[in-house]
Amino acid sequence: MRIKIGLLAAIALFATVSASAAQSREVVVVSGVLGPEGPLYVEGNLYFVGWISGTLSKWDGKTTTVLNSALGCGHNGLALSREHTFLLACTNAHGVILELDLSGKELRRWSADSEGRSFDGGINDIVVADNGGAYATVFGPYDGAPTAIAGRIVYRAPGSDTWVQVADNLNYANGIAISPDQKTLYLDEMVGNAILKFAIEADGTLTHRSNFALLNLLVPNRVENWWLGPDSLKVDRRGNLYVAQFFGGKVLKISPKGKLLHVFRIAAGDGTTNVAFGPGERDLYVSVVQDGNDPQAKGSIVRIRNVH
């Protein structure tokens, strides 16, 4: 009897370990990307950008195809509009927002907001609301070290052709996401290593700015660096946040209440930049730089199993 119980226990332990290993298995799907960012899974294809290479590419499961190359853009955040076009963040010093069709052809571009203020500091990330409105982050001056708290959020209302400033005084505004009920906007302050939240009003303006999470209170800092902070993030259908921490080598899963639910440790590098959901949110596609100190930001896109 003891032998049988011991055997059953061993089998159960093996099954648990095997399931855990399968769950955490990391697969590199695209390699050799210079500045990997902006993963987005659309109709069976994985789209991603390279901010060093200045390219938008598509991976169809077998082959990678470059769709757009714009010198001086510094391709970064990528979002799908309600019209089924891409909104692309150009993160170089004089930021630009591009609208592209799915083949990568440029349709429109914006280089300033409704008051004529240029997007100095670069556009970092973009999110599209269910009603078709869109929010974009203006990062801030970058010359190797942070120099000013000058980040902003701009908003383009449904049907509008202009971007209006809706928040400012942000400590290097980076990733941006919206809750499933469309009532809350989350914003990464990269240098502050913090996530803020805002209430979204009916006209798209933002109110009730407040702190949501300090990452160093959720997980220990892996290194001490100005740029150790939340890079980009996504929100799943349950309202949980998936936050890529640059120089952290990880993606944090955080509940809508700010509780740490899971840490996805990424083996491919320490410069995790962004995350996308695969079909049914079963898999995560993570863009990651192998060495965050590499000026060429060589990296890859990896696929890992989500944890529910």
Q: What is the pLDDT of residues 42-61, one digit of tens each?
A: 999 999 999 999 999 999 99
* Both tokens assigned to 182: 């469309």
> Does residue 2 lie in a domain region?
no
| Mean pLDDT for the chain overall | 92
Please count the structural domains in the chain. Answer: 1
Q: Residues 151-209: pLDDT tens digits?
A: 999 999 999 999 999 999 999 999 999 999 999 999 999 999 999 999 999 999 999 99
Question: Which pLDDT band holds residue 1 (cuts at 50, 70, 90)?
Answer: very low
> Does residue 254 lie in a domain region?
yes
Q: Is the pLDDT of residue 17 over 50?
A: no
* Both tokens assigned to 81: 């509009």
Q: Is the pLDDT of residue 22 over 70?
A: no
> Does residue 181 lie in a domain region?
yes
Percentage of residues of the chain with pLDDT beyond 70: 92
Which CATH number covers residue 44?
A: 2.120.10.30
Q: Which residues pair with 245 in a beta bridge?
A: 230, 250
pLDDT of residue 7: 41
Residue with tokens 């004529």: 116
Q: Is the pLDDT of residue 13 over 60?
A: no
> Does residue 115 lie in a domain region?
yes
Q: Residues 244-288: pLDDT tens digits?
A: 999 999 999 999 999 999 999 999 999 999 999 999 999 999 999
Average pLDDT over residues 231-254: 97
Please, are residues 289 and 273 in contact by the beta-carbon 8 Å criterion? yes
- Identify which of 20, 17, 6, 27 has the alpha carbon closest to the alpha carbon of residue 283: 27
- Identify which of 232, 230, 219 has the alpha carbon closest to the alpha carbon of residue 261: 219
> Does residue 3 lie in a domain region?
no
> Does residue 16 lie in a domain region?
no
Question: Which pLDDT band holds residue 144 (cuts at 50, 70, 90)?
Answer: confident
Percentage of residues of the chain with pLDDT beyond 90: 87
Question: Which pLDDT band holds residue 33 (cuts at 50, 70, 90)?
Answer: very high
> Does residue 9 lie in a domain region?
no
CA torsion 61-67-72-75 (nearest 10°) is: -40
Alpha carbon 52 to its chain centroid, in Å, reads 17
pLDDT of residue 56: 98
pLDDT of residue 155: 98
> Does residue 5 lie in a domain region?
no
**Structural domain for 61, as ranges:** 33-305
pLDDT of residue 71: 84
